[in-house]
Chain A
């Protein structure tokens, strides 16, 4: 059934920009303040107040546009989107409809199906709304306008994706670009990146696109993947039954693993867009665009090449580290502090990734100090601790950012190379494992490994493995 249909997907991605102040006033954008403390006459829609565009918002939007191969609109304007809702203090949102700041871009993605260009229809700037809080007990509703006027860009793609794999690959790439530009932290779970999925299906071979639905409330890549699978199937099933797809907005419920209709086309609002008269048109010069290009931070590909060139780490390592912006920050800091690049890379790719996965954490949540990683590597290099202990200490660093030198000292974790003490342990292990000794003597090399393991266990992992091996062979 599935193979008879093509899925067509376009995205609308809202990204909260990392400016310190709001888009049209000087209020702070900091998250988590007491309600209505980051507000002023402008962002609560007081009569007589006027918006003034934050230049940094424009520069971030242009930077994202340039990094996604967009044309920058040289004469751009803001428009008003009119609708009534209490979280929207003016009852209109200042956005861009007719002349968005960026147009006609693309992001190239690579999946197992090969390379593909995903078109960017436009990127526009707009203001976020406040937040409604409903008190279930009293039945009252409250509004917090701290978020009102926080700057957003909305990235609208062409309907160029045909699977959840392409969508997630595109989003990961887009997110990385924006993170590298330091324009946003793009956290889906905190809402600094919000993705709406427009999806339609059509019989394979047909040229006209089917009726689409818009899916909202997607808070993780996993949710996006599941929602796409679910929605495609839902639409196909309806078509198979001979029913029609409704043009509607749906809300994804990730707990139930299904979506439900929020608004149908009949409720579609007329937003009565018109040019925002309080903000002058934005005229962008070549010099300005060049300046933004010039100031653009190193993007991923450049960084990857540099890592290979400058730090002589394998391409494989460079690829993995640069796939997470925060990882590159730790890597560069650790190398700067004198850590051997390959050894730092090993810790990041190996143990760090393992622990992140194990704990279901985002790389952004890594909180250890690079200096402690460097100290740990030094302890190993100098033979103070062995690899097994290092692994244990690293986990401590990862969890609590402990200072390793002090920690090793305090917990008596230094590597033991004292031959007379090790001799005693070896003799005990040999006595207790006659069979393995026999096996080894009969040519089973693997038995040696087992015996070394037993000795390490007895010494609580502190023994110097080289010394252990030497002594063991002598004893056998």
Chain B
């Protein structure tokens, strides 16, 4: 038998349903592999072997009884540690939640479990999803499976590295400013941020509520469509959730001839690494060869996206993270004199530096006298950027470009200059500000063998177009693990 771990999620499930592979064997293979390699990659914060094995038995029984035939039945997956899992510790990569065990699961998790997928563990991440390298985790940095001297990207770095290193068959991440797409690009896997409101945020521990979306990280585009179909479900518990068409698999095999692709000039200006640029150009050429109509255009306002993003996301974060106070759950300082002292010490000890920085920035931009000057201005910019994208989508079916200016940086190179790190989010934050769906698909490697991702963005609710293009590119012999 070939190596179970090399299979795709959909491929594994087919073999399980055919009776070739037992669910418990897939689960054990993954656990054994994690035990062998994860000391190196550090993809996981928590692994729940016992629960995975119990679930393997339950799922196997359902499959055997003919009661479960989903495309993900029996497939082990990882869950980013900011997504609540009932009974399994959920830390957000932070010391402040080091003992927090949720009493409920996020809807996305429940939906996947109902489809027979099996939680294998909780993936490492930047603390509270704040960071672009997965180095701000209180549980150690994640290392890139392609080269362990490099970061995995972030904040869903553990999810990306776990998929890239075959420690699971797919993973859930969350994307607030590129946190799924960027590590996917750095690790060479497929990562997607769905249209805002597509996947319920109930159970996703909030960083910036108006930007956060749960998104999958997968080995290939077909797996991505299969996972997306399971988790794109309206949830009455999330006021921002919508009912929408969520058939993605049927868009995979579509002819992309005549599809109009816009390439923003701003995505290719200074700062973009030459080798990354070459990979993107190569992908664009392939798409043109397949009949797509590619055109360069000026998007505009790109220099304002990162400042607007950090203003809005930090403002929301400063409020969302206020609940971690040592009163109800999570870390509480040992010694304190009064209530104020309890708050101060608990939060000083519990939060890491990057999180504190964002809380400070967020509190500042919301404070009296600065609110109009910073927060309101950022909201206005957000509206203007949305108008630019709306205009672009009148003309183009999708917009493509790089995901990141460079391939994965070395460990310890980024945190010394937060500003520089923030600026590297320039290509990914617009999709969050605007709400549109965006995917990162592998499209080559640089000379050091580090993966490069192509970003495909479409108008709201037009994931179908992204899937058509991504699948076509993958089939054309792109670089992924297809």
A270 and B368 contact, CB distance less than 8 A: yes
**Does A50 sit within 8 A of B, measured CB to CB?**
yes
Q: Mark A46-88, 1 if CB is under 8 A from B, else 0.
A: 1111111100000000000000000000000000101010100
Nearest opposing residue in chain B for A24, CB measure: B239
B323 and A47 contact, CB distance less than 8 A: yes
CA A52 – CA B368 in complex, angstroms? 28
Interface residues in B225-270 (C-beta closer than 8 Å to A): 236-240
**Does B319 sit within 8 A of A, measured CB to CB?**
yes
Interface residues in A14-54 (C-beta closer than 8 Å to B): 41, 44-53
Q: Mark B201-227, 1 if CB is under 8 A from A, else 0.
A: 111111011100000000000000000
B328 and A52 contact, CB distance less than 8 A: no
B210 and A91 contact, CB distance less than 8 A: no
Quick one: given A84-B322, A277-B209, are A52 and B237 in contact (CB under 8 Å)?
A: yes
CA A279 – CA B239 in complex, angstroms? 6
**Does A272 sit within 8 A of B, measured CB to CB?**
yes
Q: Mark A257-271, 1 if CB is under 8 A from B, else 0.
A: 000000000000010
B84 and A50 contact, CB distance less than 8 A: no
B319 and A272 contact, CB distance less than 8 A: yes
CA A53 – CA B92 in complex, angstroms? 27
CA A117 – CA B97 in complex, angstroms? 54
Partner of A92, one of B204, B205, B322: B322
**Does B134 sit within 8 A of A, measured CB to CB?**
no
A48 and B206 contact, CB distance less than 8 A: yes
Instruction: Determine how close the nearest CB of chain B comes to the CB of A83; give it in whole angstroms.
Output: 9
Partner of B239, one of A84, A86, A90, A280: A280
The size of the chain A interface, using a CB distance under 8 A, is: 28
Partner of B325, one of A44, A53, A91, A270: A91
CA A278 – CA B240 in complex, angstroms? 7
The size of the chain B interface, using a CB distance under 8 A, is: 42
CA A457 – CA B363 in complex, angstroms? 80
CA A242 – CA B237 in complex, angstroms? 58
Instruction: Determine how close the nearest CB of chain A comes to the CB of B467; give it in whole angstroms.
Output: 27
CA A47 – CA B103 in complex, angstroms? 10
Instruction: Determine how close the nearest CB of chain B comes to the CB of A412; give it in whole angstroms.
Output: 65
Interface residues in B352-396 (C-beta closer than 8 Å to A): 363, 366-368, 371, 375
Q: Mark A129-162, 1 if CB is under 8 A from B, else 0.
A: 0000000000000010000000000000000000
B104 and A41 contact, CB distance less than 8 A: yes
B239 and A52 contact, CB distance less than 8 A: yes
Total A-B residue contacts, Cβ distance less than 8 Å: 92
CA A84 – CA B368 in complex, angstroms? 17
B328 and A44 contact, CB distance less than 8 A: yes
**Does B18 sit within 8 A of A, measured CB to CB?**
no
B236 and A52 contact, CB distance less than 8 A: yes
**Does B461 sit within 8 A of A, measured CB to CB?**
no
A50 and B102 contact, CB distance less than 8 A: no
A80 and B240 contact, CB distance less than 8 A: no
Chain A residues contacting B104 (CB-CB under 8 Å) are 41, 46
A51 and B328 contact, CB distance less than 8 A: no
Nearest opposing residue in chain A for B242, CB measure: A280
**Does B310 sit within 8 A of A, measured CB to CB?**
no
Quick one: given A89-B328, A274-B375, are A45 and B239 in contact (CB under 8 Å)?
A: no
Chain B residues contacting A273 (CB-CB under 8 Å) are 366, 371
B322 and A82 contact, CB distance less than 8 A: yes
B328 and A84 contact, CB distance less than 8 A: no
Chain A residues contacting B278 (CB-CB under 8 Å) are none
A46 and B103 contact, CB distance less than 8 A: yes
Chain A residues contacting B343 (CB-CB under 8 Å) are 84
B363 and A50 contact, CB distance less than 8 A: no
Interface residues in A286-317 (C-beta closer than 8 Å to B): none
Partner of B102, one of A44, A48, A92, A274: A48
Partner of A53, one of B83, B239, B363: B239
Interface, chain A (partner B; CB < 8 A): 41, 44-53, 80, 82, 84, 86, 89-92, 143, 270, 272-274, 277-280
| CB-defined A-B contacts under 8 Å, sample of 6 | A47-B92, A82-B319, A143-B327, A274-B319, A274-B371, A280-B239
Q: A272-B318, A277-B316 are in contact. List 16 more A-B contacts (CB 8 A).
A: A46-B102, A47-B100, A47-B323, A48-B203, A52-B236, A52-B239, A53-B239, A89-B327, A89-B328, A90-B322, A91-B325, A92-B319, A143-B327, A270-B368, A272-B367, A274-B366
Interface, chain B (partner A; CB < 8 A): 83-84, 90, 92, 97, 100, 102-104, 106, 201-206, 208-210, 236-240, 315-316, 318-319, 322-323, 325, 327-329, 339, 343, 363, 366-368, 371, 375
